[in-house]
Amino acid sequence: MAKDIALVLKQVDDRQEELIALLKTLIRFETPAPPARNTKEAQSYVADYLMSLGFSIDMWDVYPGDPNVVGLLKGTDSDNHKSLIINGHMDVAEVSEDENWEKDPFTPIMRDGVVIGRGAADMKGGLAGALFAIQLLRENEIELPGDLTLQSVIGEEVGEAGTLQACKRNGGAKADFAVVVDTSDLHIQGQGGVITGWITVKSEKTFHDATRRNMIHAGGGLVGASAIEKMTKIIQGLQELERHWAVTKSYPGCPPGANTINPAVIEGGRHAAFVADECRLWITVHYYPNESYEQVSGEIEEHILNVAKGDMWLKDNPPTFEWGGTSMIEDRGEIFPSLEVDPENAGVQMLAGVHETVSGQSAVIDVSPTVTDGGWLGAEGIPTVIYGPGDLKNAHAVNEQVSIDQLIQYTKTLLTFIYEWSHTKKENSQTGSRTN
Ligand SMILES: [Zn+2]
């Protein structure tokens, strides 16, 4: 069997034109998010592709025009062998008017050993590598005893629930390991988390601008406040907490102070003729891999409510909090749960070993400086890593590109890993030892 795999791996080199053509095909589907709602064709292509390789397909609209595709290839002895989920997102970063691309971002070009086009690095390269690896295994009739699931999801770039839905549907996704094939420059990565939130300061009554004198001067007798002015105290409180976190928390592999609280957007007041009766602050919170969004949002609420207790008006009109959301473009909120990688996990060790064999270089296990959908799979209790081609300086960039050598190496690693993992016995398996 091992000899067969060597022959299949050689085909990755011999048939690299097909791999590149597949990547170009994926790039040609224009799937930027925002505006989103444009992945139907691309997702149908993936569904057909997987179906032709023997997968059963579950495809449904997360939003109209943005369907998820989950393909399952049932293992030949899945009760006794380990299962794997491969996850990738079909949407790509938006292209703004002023971006100065060498060529149209959705007309891929190949030169100097790279493929250039929107999504080449983030993350149609990873998807192409995964699909091609599966195609070669299937065409060569390589037996896969464990279940193999491919989730092609939507909405990652705008914090939408593509992966979350794929994980919750049909009683919940289950697997012994998951690989998110997003941009990692072939590092095996976990990630910190992100949650956005809205903090609202609201006055029960609306006062005319002319009453401001009575609110702020001796003898005025009117207890009231500008919600905008009160919000400045809350912003100051957030900065104090951010600094406290920076000096008290850390995580190996994350730069100190990566746990930030960004006051990103502020909205407030209704008209110059009134005292502002409402102010809303949109914040973005980054936290470490060993923290949860429930925990950090709880810390923020506790601190800000204590700040409010020290203010004569806020103590009676405390701020309110709304956390997360399911889309940055639908309800202006998102959550990316954090993901910790256990270097001792059998899947992590196997992937690292295969990476070293294929590349001849030691595997790097570290923390992504950005966020992916990996946290949702981890939240389901599935040991998960981010492992994909392309680097972050290219993700979302003008003339986004991926190295063809790296893509080939990636495809070989993933192909070998799928094979090896699928042939690994489950711990509770009763049958004989693995034969190779
Ligand atoms: Zn991505």
Q: What pLDDT, in 10s, does the model give residues 211-260?
A: 999 999 999 999 999 999 999 999 999 999 999 999 999 999 999 999 99
Q: Is residue 169 a part of any domain in this protein?
A: yes
**Per-chain residues with Cβ under 5 A from ion ligand 1:** 122-123, 182
Q: Which residues are CB-neighbours of 57 under 8 A, at least 6 positions away?
A: 47, 50, 51, 69, 70, 71
Kindly give the distance from the C-alpha atom of residue 56 to the centroid of ligand 1, in angstroms, as a whole number: 25
Kindly give the distance from the C-alpha atom of residue 174 to the centroid of ligand 1, in angstroms, as a whole number: 22
Q: Is residue 364 a part of any domain in this protein?
A: yes
Cα–Cα distances (Å) from 117 to 92, 311, 329, 401, in that order, read 10, 53, 24, 6
Domain that residue 218 falls in? 193-323
Q: Average pLDDT of the chain?
A: 96
CB 105 within 8 A of CB 118: yes
Taking only the tens place, the pLDDT of each residue in 117-127 is 999 999 999 99
Number of domains in the chain: 2
| DSSP assigned state of 190 | E
For CA atoms 337, 338, 343, 349, the dihedral sign is positive
Kindly tell me if the per-residue pLDDT of 341 is higher than 80. Answer: yes
The residues that bridge with 261 in the sheet, in sequence order, are 285
Phi, psi for residue 269 in degrees, rounded to 5: 80, 160
Kindly give the distance from the C-alpha atom of residue 339 to the centroid of ligand 1, in angstroms, as a whole number: 15
Of 91, 185, 373, 391, the catalytic one is 91
| DSSP assigned state of 426 | P
Catalytic residue status for 380: no
Kindly tell me if the per-residue pLDDT of 100 is higher than 50. Answer: yes
Kindly give the distance from the C-alpha atom of residue 372 to the centroid of ligand 1, in angstroms, as a whole number: 6
Kindly tell me if the per-residue pLDDT of 4 is higher than 50. Answer: yes
Q: Is residue 61 a part of any domain in this protein?
A: yes
Kindly give the distance from the C-alpha atom of residue 89 to the centroid of ligand 1, in angstroms, as a whole number: 7
Kindly tell me if the per-residue pLDDT of 92 is higher than 90. Answer: yes
| DSSP assigned state of 366 | E
197, 105: one domain: no
- Which pair of structure tokens corresponds to residue 382? 């599935």
Catalytic residue status for 157: no
Kindly give the distance from the C-alpha atom of residue 99 to the centroid of ligand 1, in angstroms, as a whole number: 19
For position 435, what pLDDT does the model report? Answer: 44
* Tokens 């062998």, located at residue: 81
CATH number of 230's domain: 3.30.70.360
Of 156, 185, 373, 380, the catalytic one is 156
Crossing angle of helices 16-28 and 40-52, rounded to 10°: 150
CB 93 within 8 A of CB 32: yes
Kindly give the distance from the C-alpha atom of residue 48 to the centroid of ligand 1, in angstroms, as a whole number: 23
Rounded average pLDDT over 282-290: 98
76, 172: one domain: yes
Burial of 285 (0-12, 13-18, 19+ CB in 10 A): buried
386, 254: one domain: no
Could you give the 3-state DSSP secondary structure of residue 149?
Answer: strand
199, 88: one domain: no
Can you give the C-alpha Rg of the chain in angstroms?
Answer: 25
Could you give the 3-state DSSP secondary structure of residue 131?
Answer: helix
For position 428, what pLDDT does the model report? Answer: 74
Kindly give the distance from the C-alpha atom of residue 356 to the centroid of ligand 1, in angstroms, as a whole number: 24
Measured distance CA(248)–CA(241) in Å, rounded = 10
For position 429, what pLDDT does the model report? Answer: 63
Taking only the tens place, the pLDDT of each residue in 105-118 is 999 999 999 999 99
| DSSP assigned state of 89 | E
Question: Residue 299, Cβ neighbours under 10 Å: how many?
Answer: 16
Domain boundary among 323, 347, 362: 323
